[in-house]
Amino acid sequence: MKPTSSTAIPNSKPTKVTKPTPDIQEQIRLRAYGLYEQRGREGYELDDWLQAEAEVTQQKAKTVAK
Domain hosting 47: range is: 22-65
State how many domains the chain has: 1
Could you count the other beta carbons within 10 Å of the beta carbon of residue 48?
21
The residue among 66 and 23 whose pLDDT is bigger is 23
pLDDT for the residue numbered 5: 52
pLDDT for the residue numbered 9: 58
pLDDT for the residue numbered 10: 60
pLDDT, one tens digit per residue, over 3-33 is 555 555 566 666 666 676 889 999 999 999 9
Please give the Cα distance from 57 to 50 (Å, whole number). Answer: 11
Could you count the other beta carbons within 10 Å of the beta carbon of residue 39?
13
Instruction: Flag whether 12 is in a domain.
Output: no
Which of 50, 55, 60 has its CA nearest to residue 21?
Answer: 60
Query: Against a cut of 0.85, is the pTM above it?
Result: no
pLDDT for the residue numbered 46: 95
Give me the phi and psi of 57, to 5 degrees please: -70, -30
Instruction: Flag whether 1 is in a domain.
Output: no
Instruction: Flag whether 33 is in a domain.
Output: yes
